Amino acid sequence: MHTRRSLHYGHWARINEVTCIMGIRFLFWVCRALGRLPFRLFTYPLVAWYIVAKPGARKASRKYLRKVMSARGDAEPGLRHVMAHFVSFAENILDKFWLWSGLPGTNDVLVRNDERLLHNMRDKRGFLLICAHFGNMELCKMLSMSHDAPKITMLVHTKHAQAFNNLLGQLDPRSQMNVMQVTEISPATVVLLTEKVHQGECVVIAGDRIPVSPAPRIAAAGFFGELAPFPVGPYVLASLMQCPVYLMFVLQQKNRTEVCFEFFRETIRLPKDKRDTELAQLASGYAARLEHYCMLTPLQWFNFYDFWQMPESALCKND
Predicted structure pTM score: 0.85
More confident position, 314 or 123: 123
Q: What angle do CA 304, 216, 139 make, to 5 degrees?
A: 50
Q: What angle do CA 28, 89, 159 make, to 5 degrees?
A: 75
Give the pLDDT of residue 8.
Answer: 42
Q: Is the CB of residue 77 less than 8 Å from the CB of residue 118?
A: no
Sort 35 into a burial class: Cβ within 10 Å, 0-12 / 13-18 / 19+. Answer: exposed
Q: Is the CB of residue 111 less than 8 Å from the CB of residue 142?
A: yes
246 three-state secondary structure: strand
Q: Is the CB of residue 252 less than 8 Å from the CB of residue 260?
A: no
- Which residues fall within 8 angstroms of residue 261, CB to CB, at 6 or more apart? 111, 112, 113, 114, 117, 129, 246, 247, 248
The identity of residue 106, as a single letter, is T
Q: Is the pLDDT of residue 302 over 70?
A: yes
As a residue count, the chain comes to 319
How many CB atoms sit inside 10 A of residue 100's CB?
21
Query: How far apart, in whole angstroms, are the C-alpha atoms of residue 128 and residue 153?
Result: 10
Per-residue pLDDT reduced to its tens digit, 207-224: 998 877 767 789 999 999
Average pLDDT over residues 237-261: 90
Query: How far apart, in whole angstroms, are the C-alpha atoms of residue 98 and residue 114?
Result: 26
Which among 230, 233, 244, 238 is positioned nearest to 303, based on CA atoms? 230
Domains and CATH numbers, the chain: 12-316 (3.40.1130)
Give the pLDDT of residue 313.
Answer: 57
Query: How far apart, in whole angstroms, are the C-alpha atoms of residue 121 and residue 201?
Result: 9
Give the pLDDT of residue 121.
Answer: 87
* Exposure string over 172-183, b if 16+ CB within 10 A, otherwise e: eeebebbbbbbe
What's the pLDDT band for 268 if we cut at 50, 70, 90? very high
Which among 140, 119, 87 is positioned nearest to 250, based on CA atoms? 140
Residues above pLDDT 90, as percent of the chain: 43
What's the pLDDT band for 4 if we cut at 50, 70, 90? very low
In terms of phi and psi (left: phi > 0; alpha: psi -120 to 50; beta: otherwise), the region of 254 is left
Average pLDDT, the chain: 81
Report the range of poorest mean pLDDT among 14-23, 57-66, 120-129, 309-318. Answer: 14-23
The two most distant CA atoms of the chain are separated, in Å, by: 61
